[in-house]
């Protein structure tokens, strides 16, 4: 911990003014006189004045466990910190207040409702050194002065917003300039109000009537004060939904911690850990584990979890009957009522589609069946607000208010289409289109927010001639996620009946077209539609007319693609189902007119429709299998993202399967992958089902990790007939055996000898099935050599994708950077970071021309270890490390990295090198772009001091790091393309 230059002390009446005095150190004579009246008179004989009272407390009161004010609780401080109580008994300290001023204020709590450690962990933009730089003695001082007004949190037992709501509900006086914490401590009218969902004051007083008498006598201020301060904490339960006795008996590990005074009671464990571990609160009450993004919960998780939800419902299980879903007919009626409700509004304030100059988008609305359908589509178009819009309405045979639509919407251009079908109307409207892109839309279709903007951005990509939407029905289930047309002319909608954004429809892909609803396309292509002949003109099924349009667009521009984008989201009314005879008749028309376009498609709908929607004609299909990637594995995540970007760039249809038997539905990495990646997850059984659903549906398989291969080896053997014969790649750039050896080390200049035989056996077990794969890729020569020792040869060095980033020069960079995400889990990275902060950072003080801060690059602030590390001087708040790693690497002057072991890749050093950031790393080996230093605190500090101030050496290492990243990226991309293209050539030769 860091040392503050000034030790706080008490401040009372008559003392010399000071620049700043913590509120917890200010003696309050009025409060003290009321609180300890009998004790003072009993010892002095009378009640002194303010100064005399202050001197009495300094001389006698503090020794008798009197608190100087309501913000410092002397008795609680002694009970909570038994070493302080022992020190007082031994005569080391006169009081707990003295201990707190001299040393305790740096990390201990002095009030039952405030946690010093919790304040910094729940407010990751603050650190102890930062609040001291701001002029405060500690976190509690900052909280009393500023934090409580900002409604910051420190304890699960005090939720400012909950208390404020109670104040308003009971119409009690409220001063926005006074924080809820001070309001609670200075008032006598708030004791029965809830301050947290973890404590019920009304139930507590009813359950323990003796507490009311203790509050009335002044021994305790409130029920919560009693619960958090009494001498027998395991004798009381805080709510009817937690049983202290049961919890301690059920969980012996908690009981041992309570007996050792590591925890106050079982409920402290439950609130901090048990809620999230899924432990029982009572014999009858149990909840599933509640996962957090890290090893400790944030404030949201503390306030909103299964237990607090249960308490908010007053203990009623969430077993309410699921309401019966309305029928599609009922939903259609509601939709019609919505349209009717719009009419009086639009009659008073019509929609305005008038524009000046060239519009950004043209819209062609097909002839409506009913006026209400048209009105809802017009209102939806107006709401999306994507710039100047030209709206063209194809008039039909409707006999309702459609003819008077100008009363409800200005600026519509009406084109007659009474004698033509859909394609004829689109063709006639083509000449009137004024924008470079046009949206074709059915009346009754409504657009979701930002859907149209998403589609416009997708249409702007090279080679895209049209964008198909994800179409939902009125029940918000998928009606269509793109249409595929077989060679026999049959049309099949993908994903029908699935939930919106289900994994099999939640990725961008090429498709044959749409079957209705809407389509965004390029105006130039639409205008090129030739005059329709009698065959296409005879199409009467709307889905076939739309499919015919899409096939015509592809026929006009063979190199163009129609792309399905799930974020282009629309909703449509229920579609009519055509008769089988008419469907077969019109399929024949499509087959005859588009035989050449359909030549590469499946001959007919296969047993598994997914094979129809991912044909090889849209690109070779690759399956990437991986294990779930934890938040402490950023390197694995970066490599996955790089692979997926490369797959998309090479035109592959990519499916990523996350193999996770324990938590099959919790991985969220899909949000970081390219839109074109299909992301699935589940256990071995789910993977087997995927392979069965897509026989020969993958042309190549990429397996990340030896243990992943071991997990799927038996399955792949059993399903060999359904998988490609060649093209299986094993990615061994991350070796678990090497990682385990790396994490088992200690920080020391001379390494302990390692049992190589044991290591080789563990590694051999990891790669035992590597022979199954045609290609094996590694990161560097060192990994190749390590694998060679256990008989894995013929590997390909792939390296990593490290795109270069522009970054400032030497003078515009400041501070040190550490890639701390791996340190959120136990291992050598965490051990090294603690060693560095405790032993090296202190040796930099006063040695550099500018104050130097250590920035911890991390994705989460919910790490207890990292939060505690920020308590050290010159360590930046965790919030400062939340930016993208490349952005942080471009701001800092040096990267600090641990020393490596053979076969372990320092990915963070390589990634920082792409930003021109040199590193100081442990060890003696010479590395490009880095200065090596012995793992001796003084030697390591000297290496940092030298490089931090030596511009010439810094620039040389920066250039080396960039050159290394550039060379590795070139090798990576060329090698990966070669591996994949080799497989493509083999596939073409088989065909």
* Cβ atoms of residues 470 and 564 within 8 Å: yes
881: in domain: no
- Chain mean position to CA 238: 33
pLDDT tens-digit series, residues 712-748: 999 999 999 999 988 999 999 999 999 999 988 888 7
Beta bridge partners of 394: 415
Structure confidence at residue 657 as a pLDDT band (50, 70, 90): very high
Number of separate domains in the chain: 2
Verify that 571 and 665 share a domain, yes or no: no
Verify that 529 and 574 share a domain, yes or no: yes
Q: What is the DSSP letter of 145?
A: I
- Which of 625, 618, 646, 496 lies closest to 561, judged by CA? 618
989 against 35, higher pLDDT: 35
Q: Report whether pLDDT(892) > 50.
A: yes
109: in domain: no
242: in domain: no
User: What is the C-alpha to C-alpha distance for residues 488 and 986, in angstroms, rounded to an integer?
Assistant: 29
SS3 of residue 974 by DSSP? helix
- Which of 347, 351, 346, 378 lies closest to 365, judged by CA? 378
Verify that 544 and 692 share a domain, yes or no: no
User: What is the C-alpha to C-alpha distance for residues 130 and 876, in angstroms, rounded to an integer?
Assistant: 8
User: What is the C-alpha to C-alpha distance for residues 670 and 654, in angstroms, rounded to an integer?
Assistant: 13
pLDDT tens-digit series, residues 745-787: 888 766 666 678 888 999 999 999 999 999 999 999 999 999 9
344: in domain: yes
* Cβ atoms of residues 282 and 241 within 8 Å: yes
Q: Report whether pLDDT(295) > 90.
A: no
- pTM for this model (two decimals): 0.84
User: What is the C-alpha to C-alpha distance for residues 349 and 362, in angstroms, rounded to an integer?
Assistant: 23
pLDDT at 189: 81
Token pair listed for 230: 């009494």
Q: What is the DSSP letter of 418?
A: T
Number of C-alpha atoms within 13 angstroms, CB side, residue 133?
14
Phi, psi values for residue 809, rounded to 5°: -85, -175
Phi, psi values for residue 257, rounded to 5°: -70, -35
Give residue 326's region: left, alpha or beta (phi > 0; psi -120 to 50).
beta
User: What is the C-alpha to C-alpha distance for residues 366 and 392, in angstroms, rounded to an integer?
Assistant: 9
* Cβ atoms of residues 732 and 783 within 8 Å: yes
- Apex CA 174: angle with CA 170 and CA 179, to 5°? 120
Do you know the residue count of the chain?
A: 991
Structure confidence at residue 5 as a pLDDT band (50, 70, 90): very low
pLDDT at 242: 96
Verify that 481 and 444 share a domain, yes or no: yes
316: in domain: no
* Final residue before a domain boundary, out of 797, 822, 850: 797
Verify that 367 and 490 share a domain, yes or no: yes
Verify that 371 and 406 share a domain, yes or no: yes
pLDDT at 987: 41
Q: Report whether pLDDT(494) > 60.
A: yes
755: in domain: yes
Q: Report whether pLDDT(973) > 90.
A: yes
* Final residue before a domain boundary, out of 613, 648, 667: 613
Verify that 759 and 645 share a domain, yes or no: yes
* Cβ atoms of residues 882 and 857 within 8 Å: no
897 against 404, higher pLDDT: 897
pLDDT at 986: 42
Verify that 584 and 686 share a domain, yes or no: no
- Apex CA 197: angle with CA 195 and CA 202, to 5°? 70
User: What is the C-alpha to C-alpha distance for residues 348 and 639, in angstroms, rounded to an integer?
Assistant: 58
Element (H, E) at 580: helix 580-593
User: What is the C-alpha to C-alpha distance for residues 212 and 116, in angstroms, rounded to an integer?
Assistant: 29
64: in domain: no
pLDDT at 457: 96
Q: Report whether pLDDT(921) > 90.
A: yes
Phi, psi values for residue 795, rounded to 5°: -85, 160
Segment 375-388 mean pLDDT: 88
Element (H, E) at 379: helix 371-384
User: What is the C-alpha to C-alpha distance for residues 224 and 157, in angstroms, rounded to an integer?
Assistant: 8
- The CATH number of the domain holding residue 782 is 3.40.50.2000
- Beta 894-897 vs 816-819: how paired, if at all? parallel
* Final residue before a domain boundary, out of 797, 821, 846: 797
Verify that 621 and 584 share a domain, yes or no: no
Q: Report whether pLDDT(198) > 80.
A: yes
pLDDT at 616: 82
pLDDT at 990: 37
Element (H, E) at 712: helix 706-718
Q: What is the mean pLDDT of the chain?
A: 89
- The CATH number of the domain holding residue 371 is 3.90.550.10
Token pair listed for 689: 């089902």
Verify that 533 and 417 share a domain, yes or no: yes
pLDDT tens-digit series, residues 263-278: 999 999 999 999 999 9
Question: Which residues constitute the domain of residue 518?
Answer: 328-598+609-613
Structure confidence at residue 664 as a pLDDT band (50, 70, 90): very low
Verify that 336 and 371 share a domain, yes or no: yes
End-to-end distance of the chain based on CA atoms, in angstroms?
A: 69
pLDDT at 765: 95
50: in domain: no
- Beta 413-416 vs 919-922: how paired, if at all? unpaired
pLDDT at 629: 85
Verify that 570 and 637 share a domain, yes or no: no
């Amino acid at each position: 911990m860091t040392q503050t230059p000034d030790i706080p002390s008490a401040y009372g009446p008559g003392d010399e003014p000071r620049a700043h005095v913590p509120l917890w150190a200010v003696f309050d004579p009025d409060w003290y006189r009321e609180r300890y009246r009998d004790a003072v008179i009993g010892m002095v004989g009378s009640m002194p004045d303010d100064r005399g009272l202050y001197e009495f407390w300094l001389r006698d009161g503090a020794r008798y466990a009197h608190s100087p004010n309501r913000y410092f609780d002397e008795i609680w401080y002694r009970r909570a910190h038994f070493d302080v109580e022992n020190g007082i008994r031994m005569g080391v300290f006169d009081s707990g207040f003295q201990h707190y001023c001299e040393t305790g204020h740096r990390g201990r709590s002095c009030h039952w409702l405030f946690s010093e450690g919790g304040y910094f962990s729940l407010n990751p933009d603050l650190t102890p050194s930062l609040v001291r730089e701001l002029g405060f003695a500690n976190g509690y001082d900052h909280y009393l002065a500023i934090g409580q007004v900002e409604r910051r949190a420190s304890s699960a037992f005090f939720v400012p917003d909950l208390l404020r709501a109670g104040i308003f509900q009971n119409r009690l006086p409220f001063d926005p300039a006074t924080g809820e914490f001070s309001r609670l401590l200075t008032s006598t009218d708030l004791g029965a109000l809830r301050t947290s969902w973890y404590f019920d004051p009304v139930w507590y007083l009813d359950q323990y009537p003796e507490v009311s008498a203790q509050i009335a006598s002044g021994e305790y201020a409130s029920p919560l004060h009693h619960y958090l301060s009494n001498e027998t904490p395991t004798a009381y339960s805080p709510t009817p939904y937690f049983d202290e006795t049961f919890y301690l008996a059920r969980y012996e590990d908690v009981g041992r911690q309570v007996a050792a005074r590591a925890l106050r009671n079982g409920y402290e464990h439950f609130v901090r850990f048990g809620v999230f571990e899924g432990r029982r609160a009572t014999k009858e009450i149990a909840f599933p584990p509640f996962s957090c993004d890290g090893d400790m919960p944030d404030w949201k998780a503390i306030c909103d979890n299964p237990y607090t939800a249960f308490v908010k419902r007053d203990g009623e299980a969430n077993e309410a009957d699921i309401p019966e879903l309305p029928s599609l007919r009922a939903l259609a009626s509601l939709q019609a009522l919505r349209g009717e409700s719009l009419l009086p509004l639009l009659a008073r304030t019509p929609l305005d589609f008038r524009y000046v100059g060239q519009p950004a988008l043209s819209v062609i609305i097909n002839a409506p069946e009913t006026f209400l359908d048209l009105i809802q589509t017009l209102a939806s178009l107006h709401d999306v607000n994507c710039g100047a819009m030209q709206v063209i309405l194809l008039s039909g045979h409707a006999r309702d208010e459609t003819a008077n639509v100008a009363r409800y919407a200005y600026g519509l251009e009406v084109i007659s289409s009474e004698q033509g079908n859909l394609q004829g109307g689109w063709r006639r409207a083509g000449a009137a289109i004024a924008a470079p892109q046009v949206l074709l839309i059915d009346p009754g279709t409504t657009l979701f927010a930002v859907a149209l903007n998403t589609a416009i951005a997708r249409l702007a990509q090279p080679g895209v001639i049209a964008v198909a939407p994800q179409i939902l029905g009125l029940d918000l289930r998928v009606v269509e996620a793109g249409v595929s047309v077989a060679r026999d002319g049959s049309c099949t909608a993908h994903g029908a009946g699935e939930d919106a954004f289900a994994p099999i429809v939640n990725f961008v892909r090429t498709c044959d077209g749409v079957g209705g609803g809407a389509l965004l396309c390029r105006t130039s292509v639409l205008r090129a539609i030739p005059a329709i002949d009698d065959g296409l003109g005879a199409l009467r099924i709307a889905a076939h007319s739309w499919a015919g349009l899409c096939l015509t667009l592809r026929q006009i521009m063979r190199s163009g693609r129609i792309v399905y984008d799930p974020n282009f989201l629309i909703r449509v009314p229920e579609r009519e189902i055509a008769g089988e005879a008419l469907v077969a008749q019109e399929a024949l028309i499509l087959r005859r007119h588009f035989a050449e376009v359909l030549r590469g498609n499946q001959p007919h709908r296969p047993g598994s429709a997914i094979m129809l929607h991912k044909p090889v004609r849209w690109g070779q299909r690759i399956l990437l299998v991986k294990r779930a990637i934890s938040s402490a594995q950023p390197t694995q995540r970066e490599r996955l993202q790089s692979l997926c970007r490369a797959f998309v760039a090479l035109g592959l249809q990519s499916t990523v399967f996350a193999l996770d038997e324990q938590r099959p539905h919790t991985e969220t990495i899909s949000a970081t992958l390219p839109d074109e990646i299909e992301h699935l997850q589940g256990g071995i059984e789910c993977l087997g089902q995927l392979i069965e659903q897509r026989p020969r549906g993958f042309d190549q398989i990429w397996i990340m990790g030896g243990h992943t291969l071991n997990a799927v080896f038996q399955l792949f053997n059993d399903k060999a007939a359904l998988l490609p014969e060649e093209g299986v790649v094993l990615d061994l750039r991350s070796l678990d055996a090497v990682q385990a050896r790396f994490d088992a080390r200690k920080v020391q200049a001379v390494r302990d000898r390692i049992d190589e035989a044991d290591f080789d056996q563990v590694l051999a077990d990891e790669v035992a099935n590597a022979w199954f794969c045609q290609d094996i890729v590694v990161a560097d020569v060192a990994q190749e050599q390590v694998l060679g020792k256990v008989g894995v040869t013929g590997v390909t060095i792939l390296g990593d994708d490290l795109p270069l980033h522009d970054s400032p020069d030497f003078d515009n960079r400041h501070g040190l950077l550490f890639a701390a995400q791996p340190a959120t889990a136990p291992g050598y990275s965490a051990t090294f970071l603690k060693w560095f902060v405790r032993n090296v950072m202190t040796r930099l003080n006063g040695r550099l021309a500018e104050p130097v801060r250590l920035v911890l690059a991390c994705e989460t602030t919910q790490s207890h270890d990292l939060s505690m590390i920020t308590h050290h001087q010159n360590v930046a708040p965790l919030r400062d490390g939340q930016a993208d790693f490349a952005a942080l690497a471009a701001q800092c002057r040096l990267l600090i990295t641990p020393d490596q072991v053979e076969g372990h890749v320092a990915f963070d050093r390589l990634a920082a090198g792409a930003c021109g950031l040199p590193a100081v790393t442990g060890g003696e080996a010479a590395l490009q772009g880095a200065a090596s230093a012995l793992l001796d605190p003084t030697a390591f500090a000297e290496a940092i001091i030298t490089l931090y101030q030596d511009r010439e050496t810094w620039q040389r290492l920066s250039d080396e790091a960039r050159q290394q990243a550039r060379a590795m990226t070139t090798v990576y991309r060329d090698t990966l393309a070669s591996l994949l293209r080799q497989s493509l050539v083999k596939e073409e030769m088989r065909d």
